[in-house]
Structure 1
Protein backbone atom coordinates (compact mmCIF):
# COMPACT_ATOMS: atom_id res chain seq x y z
CA UNK A 1 0.00 0.00 0.00
CA UNK A 2 1.27 3.47 -0.89
CA UNK A 3 0.27 6.50 1.13
CA UNK A 4 0.61 10.09 0.04
CA UNK A 5 2.21 12.42 2.57
CA UNK A 6 -0.10 14.96 4.16
CA UNK A 7 0.46 18.52 3.02
CA UNK A 8 1.36 20.55 6.12
CA UNK A 9 -0.38 23.76 7.04
CA UNK A 10 0.47 26.49 9.52
CA UNK A 11 -1.46 27.34 12.70
CA UNK A 12 -0.57 30.51 14.57
CA UNK A 13 0.86 29.38 17.92
CA UNK A 14 2.29 32.42 19.74
CA UNK A 15 4.05 35.77 19.34
CA UNK A 16 7.43 36.75 20.76
CA UNK A 17 9.30 39.97 21.46
CA UNK A 18 12.95 39.38 22.39
CA UNK A 19 14.73 42.44 23.81
CA UNK A 20 18.41 42.62 22.85
CA UNK A 21 21.51 44.06 24.45
CA UNK A 22 24.49 45.51 22.58
CA UNK A 23 26.07 43.39 19.85
CA UNK A 24 29.54 41.97 20.57
CA UNK A 25 31.47 41.55 17.31
CA UNK A 26 34.04 38.77 17.78
CA UNK A 27 35.44 39.19 14.27
CA UNK A 28 36.56 36.26 12.13
CA UNK A 29 36.84 33.03 14.06
CA UNK A 30 37.29 29.48 12.81
CA UNK A 31 33.48 29.30 12.42
CA UNK A 32 33.30 32.54 10.42
CA UNK A 33 32.46 36.13 11.33
CA UNK A 34 31.02 35.64 14.82
CA UNK A 35 28.64 38.06 16.54
CA UNK A 36 26.95 37.54 19.91
CA UNK A 37 23.87 39.51 20.90
CA UNK A 38 22.74 39.13 24.54
CA UNK A 39 19.07 38.60 25.27
CA UNK A 40 17.99 40.85 28.13
CA UNK A 41 14.28 40.03 28.35
CA UNK A 42 11.03 39.96 26.44
CA UNK A 43 7.58 38.42 26.28
CA UNK A 44 5.78 35.45 24.75
CA UNK A 45 2.06 36.09 24.21
CA UNK A 46 -0.97 34.80 22.34
CA UNK A 47 -1.46 31.11 23.04
CA UNK A 48 1.56 30.84 25.30
CA UNK A 49 2.22 33.45 27.97
CA UNK A 50 5.70 33.76 29.43
CA UNK A 51 8.40 36.25 30.33
CA UNK A 52 11.74 35.85 28.56
CA UNK A 53 14.47 35.87 31.17
CA UNK A 54 17.80 37.68 30.79
CA UNK A 55 20.80 35.49 30.10
CA UNK A 56 20.27 33.98 26.68
CA UNK A 57 21.92 35.12 23.48
CA UNK A 58 21.94 34.91 19.71
CA UNK A 59 25.24 33.40 18.56
CA UNK A 60 25.36 34.56 14.93
CA UNK A 61 27.68 33.75 12.08
CA UNK A 62 27.78 36.26 9.24
CA UNK A 63 28.46 34.34 6.03
CA UNK A 64 30.69 35.65 3.25
CA UNK A 65 27.56 36.40 1.19
CA UNK A 66 26.29 38.65 4.02
CA UNK A 67 23.53 36.31 5.20
CA UNK A 68 23.31 35.84 8.95
CA UNK A 69 22.91 32.40 10.48
CA UNK A 70 20.80 32.82 13.61
CA UNK A 71 21.37 30.59 16.66
CA UNK A 72 19.33 32.01 19.53
CA UNK A 73 18.84 30.25 22.85
CA UNK A 74 16.89 31.58 25.81
CA UNK A 75 14.59 30.71 28.68
CA UNK A 76 11.08 31.94 29.42
CA UNK A 77 9.01 31.56 32.58
CA UNK A 78 5.21 31.26 32.61
CA UNK A 79 3.09 33.09 35.20
CA UNK A 80 2.82 29.72 37.02
CA UNK A 81 6.63 29.46 37.24
CA UNK A 82 7.16 26.76 34.57
CA UNK A 83 10.38 27.14 32.59
CA UNK A 84 10.51 26.90 28.80
CA UNK A 85 13.76 26.63 26.85
CA UNK A 86 13.55 27.99 23.30
CA UNK A 87 16.14 27.38 20.62
CA UNK A 88 15.79 29.41 17.45
CA UNK A 89 17.74 28.69 14.26
CA UNK A 90 17.36 30.37 10.92
CA UNK A 91 18.62 32.92 8.45
CA UNK A 92 18.37 36.65 7.87
CA UNK A 93 19.42 37.90 4.46
CA UNK A 94 18.83 40.69 2.00
CA UNK A 95 20.63 43.28 -0.09
CA UNK A 96 23.87 44.53 1.51
CA UNK A 97 22.50 48.05 2.07
CA UNK A 98 19.41 46.65 3.85
CA UNK A 99 21.52 44.42 6.13
CA UNK A 100 23.78 47.41 6.89
CA UNK A 101 20.72 49.52 7.78
CA UNK A 102 19.47 46.79 10.14
CA UNK A 103 22.89 46.59 11.79
CA UNK A 104 22.82 50.39 12.25
CA UNK A 105 19.46 50.10 14.01
CA UNK A 106 17.46 51.77 11.25
CA UNK A 107 13.74 51.10 10.88
CA UNK A 108 13.57 48.76 7.86
CA UNK A 109 10.36 47.26 6.52
CA UNK A 110 10.46 43.44 6.84
CA UNK A 111 9.43 43.08 3.19
CA UNK A 112 12.93 44.31 2.26
CA UNK A 113 14.73 41.33 3.83
CA UNK A 114 14.19 37.63 4.52
CA UNK A 115 14.18 36.56 8.18
CA UNK A 116 12.79 33.10 8.98
CA UNK A 117 13.48 30.69 11.81
CA UNK A 118 12.62 27.29 13.24
CA UNK A 119 11.86 27.11 16.96
CA UNK A 120 12.28 24.05 19.17
CA UNK A 121 11.01 23.98 22.71
CA UNK A 122 11.95 22.03 25.82
CA UNK A 123 10.04 22.03 29.09
CA UNK A 124 9.45 19.90 32.17
CA UNK A 125 5.92 21.30 32.58
CA UNK A 126 3.36 18.56 31.91
CA UNK A 127 0.77 21.09 30.74
CA UNK A 128 3.22 22.39 28.11
CA UNK A 129 4.66 19.04 26.97
CA UNK A 130 2.71 19.28 23.68
CA UNK A 131 5.14 22.07 22.67
CA UNK A 132 7.96 19.51 22.59
CA UNK A 133 6.04 17.44 20.05
CA UNK A 134 5.64 20.08 17.37
CA UNK A 135 7.68 21.91 14.77
CA UNK A 136 7.36 25.70 14.83
CA UNK A 137 8.44 28.15 12.13
CA UNK A 138 8.49 31.91 12.42
CA UNK A 139 8.45 35.04 10.36
CA UNK A 140 10.67 37.58 12.09
CA UNK A 141 11.24 41.33 12.21
CA UNK A 142 14.48 42.98 13.40
CA UNK A 143 13.96 46.22 15.30
CA UNK A 144 16.77 48.41 16.66
CA UNK A 145 16.73 46.75 20.09
CA UNK A 146 14.49 43.71 19.64
CA UNK A 147 13.46 40.83 17.43
CA UNK A 148 9.75 40.18 17.03
CA UNK A 149 8.26 37.07 15.53
CA UNK A 150 5.02 35.23 14.96
CA UNK A 151 5.46 31.47 15.51
CA UNK A 152 3.39 28.93 13.63
CA UNK A 153 2.90 25.25 14.41
CA UNK A 154 3.44 23.08 11.35
CA UNK A 155 0.53 20.63 11.24
Structure 2
Protein backbone atom coordinates (compact mmCIF):
# COMPACT_ATOMS: atom_id res chain seq x y z
CA UNK A 1 0.00 0.00 0.00
CA UNK A 2 1.27 3.48 -0.80
CA UNK A 3 1.19 6.43 1.58
CA UNK A 4 -1.31 9.19 0.85
CA UNK A 5 -0.02 12.47 -0.59
CA UNK A 6 -0.35 15.21 2.01
CA UNK A 7 -1.37 18.75 1.15
CA UNK A 8 1.41 21.27 1.86
CA UNK A 9 1.19 23.48 4.92
CA UNK A 10 2.79 26.93 4.96
CA UNK A 11 4.54 28.19 8.09
CA UNK A 12 5.84 31.78 8.28
CA UNK A 13 9.66 31.72 8.31
CA UNK A 14 10.94 35.30 7.93
CA UNK A 15 10.35 38.69 6.28
CA UNK A 16 12.69 40.43 3.86
CA UNK A 17 13.14 43.97 2.57
CA UNK A 18 15.58 44.21 -0.35
CA UNK A 19 16.88 47.65 -1.35
CA UNK A 20 17.41 48.05 -5.11
CA UNK A 21 19.76 50.15 -7.22
CA UNK A 22 19.10 51.49 -10.70
CA UNK A 23 18.24 48.77 -13.25
CA UNK A 24 20.82 48.12 -15.96
CA UNK A 25 19.35 47.17 -19.34
CA UNK A 26 21.72 44.76 -21.09
CA UNK A 27 19.52 44.47 -24.17
CA UNK A 28 18.60 41.49 -26.34
CA UNK A 29 20.63 38.37 -25.59
CA UNK A 30 20.17 34.75 -26.65
CA UNK A 31 18.13 34.25 -23.42
CA UNK A 32 15.86 37.24 -24.12
CA UNK A 33 15.96 40.89 -23.11
CA UNK A 34 18.24 40.97 -20.09
CA UNK A 35 17.95 43.47 -17.24
CA UNK A 36 20.10 43.39 -14.09
CA UNK A 37 18.85 45.11 -10.94
CA UNK A 38 21.60 45.63 -8.34
CA UNK A 39 20.82 44.74 -4.73
CA UNK A 40 22.37 47.39 -2.49
CA UNK A 41 21.15 46.37 0.97
CA UNK A 42 18.17 45.45 3.08
CA UNK A 43 17.15 43.42 6.10
CA UNK A 44 15.85 39.96 7.02
CA UNK A 45 13.67 39.80 10.15
CA UNK A 46 11.59 37.25 12.00
CA UNK A 47 12.90 33.70 12.27
CA UNK A 48 16.26 34.95 10.97
CA UNK A 49 17.81 38.36 11.70
CA UNK A 50 20.41 39.55 9.18
CA UNK A 51 21.52 42.51 7.08
CA UNK A 52 21.50 42.07 3.31
CA UNK A 53 24.91 42.90 1.90
CA UNK A 54 25.46 45.03 -1.20
CA UNK A 55 26.70 43.19 -4.26
CA UNK A 56 23.84 40.89 -5.18
CA UNK A 57 21.49 41.36 -8.10
CA UNK A 58 18.28 40.24 -9.74
CA UNK A 59 19.13 38.91 -13.21
CA UNK A 60 15.84 39.37 -15.06
CA UNK A 61 14.62 38.29 -18.48
CA UNK A 62 11.91 40.52 -19.94
CA UNK A 63 9.56 38.33 -21.97
CA UNK A 64 7.84 39.47 -25.17
CA UNK A 65 4.53 39.62 -23.25
CA UNK A 66 6.08 41.94 -20.62
CA UNK A 67 6.32 39.33 -17.84
CA UNK A 68 9.62 39.09 -15.97
CA UNK A 69 11.55 35.93 -15.18
CA UNK A 70 13.28 36.74 -11.88
CA UNK A 71 16.52 35.24 -10.57
CA UNK A 72 17.81 37.16 -7.55
CA UNK A 73 20.91 36.15 -5.61
CA UNK A 74 22.29 37.96 -2.61
CA UNK A 75 24.13 37.50 0.67
CA UNK A 76 23.19 38.46 4.22
CA UNK A 77 25.14 38.55 7.49
CA UNK A 78 23.75 38.01 11.00
CA UNK A 79 24.92 40.06 13.99
CA UNK A 80 27.06 37.04 14.94
CA UNK A 81 28.84 37.12 11.55
CA UNK A 82 27.07 34.09 10.03
CA UNK A 83 26.62 34.35 6.27
CA UNK A 84 23.59 33.34 4.23
CA UNK A 85 23.19 33.14 0.47
CA UNK A 86 19.60 33.56 -0.71
CA UNK A 87 18.31 32.78 -4.19
CA UNK A 88 14.79 33.82 -5.18
CA UNK A 89 13.30 32.71 -8.50
CA UNK A 90 9.88 33.54 -9.82
CA UNK A 91 7.74 35.29 -12.42
CA UNK A 92 6.19 38.74 -12.18
CA UNK A 93 3.45 39.25 -14.76
CA UNK A 94 1.54 42.41 -15.60
CA UNK A 95 2.05 45.89 -14.24
CA UNK A 96 0.98 45.02 -10.71
CA UNK A 97 3.66 44.84 -8.03
CA UNK A 98 2.61 41.57 -6.30
CA UNK A 99 4.26 38.29 -7.29
CA UNK A 100 5.51 34.99 -5.85
CA UNK A 101 8.92 33.37 -5.68
CA UNK A 102 10.57 30.14 -4.62
CA UNK A 103 13.56 30.56 -2.30
CA UNK A 104 16.70 28.60 -1.56
CA UNK A 105 19.05 29.31 1.35
CA UNK A 106 22.70 28.26 1.58
CA UNK A 107 24.97 28.68 4.62
CA UNK A 108 28.03 27.24 6.30
CA UNK A 109 26.62 28.15 9.74
CA UNK A 110 25.75 25.09 11.87
CA UNK A 111 23.20 27.20 13.78
CA UNK A 112 21.35 28.09 10.55
CA UNK A 113 21.91 24.86 8.60
CA UNK A 114 18.23 23.88 9.00
CA UNK A 115 17.41 26.58 6.43
CA UNK A 116 19.24 24.62 3.72
CA UNK A 117 16.94 21.62 4.08
CA UNK A 118 13.67 23.48 3.66
CA UNK A 119 11.56 24.55 0.73
CA UNK A 120 10.43 28.18 0.90
CA UNK A 121 7.90 30.17 -1.09
CA UNK A 122 7.26 33.87 -0.75
CA UNK A 123 4.59 36.45 -1.44
CA UNK A 124 6.30 39.61 -2.65
CA UNK A 125 5.60 43.21 -3.59
CA UNK A 126 7.79 45.42 -5.78
CA UNK A 127 7.86 49.04 -4.64
CA UNK A 128 9.82 51.85 -6.32
CA UNK A 129 13.26 51.00 -4.88
CA UNK A 130 12.37 47.98 -2.76
CA UNK A 131 11.14 44.42 -2.90
CA UNK A 132 9.34 43.23 0.23
CA UNK A 133 8.42 39.62 0.81
CA UNK A 134 7.19 37.17 3.42
CA UNK A 135 8.84 33.77 3.20
CA UNK A 136 7.01 30.61 4.20
CA UNK A 137 8.45 27.18 4.94
CA UNK A 138 6.53 24.48 3.06
CA UNK A 139 6.00 21.43 5.25
Normalised TM-score (structure 2): 0.97
Structure 1, unaligned stretches of length 5 or more? 99-111
Q: 2:89 touches 2:103 (CA, 8 Å); kept in 1?
A: yes
Question: Could you list the per-position Cα deviations for residues 60-113 of structure 1 after superposition, in whole angstroms to 9, with x for gaps in the alignment?
Answer: 00111111000000000001000000011001012xxx2xxxxxxxxxxxxx45
CA distance in 1, matches of 2:97, 2:38: 22
Q: 1:91 touches 1:114 (CA, 8 Å); kept in 2?
A: no
* Greater share of helix: 1
CA distance in 2, matches of 1:113, 1:17: 14
Pairwise CA distance, 1:2: 1.5
Structure 2, unaligned stretches of length 5 or more? none
Alignment size in residue pairs:
139
Q: CA RMSD in A?
A: 0.9
CA distance in 1, matches of 2:10, 2:58: 25
* Greater share of strand: 2
Runs of 4+ in 1 over 4 A off after TM superposition: none
| Residues 1:153 and 2:131 are matched in the alignment | no
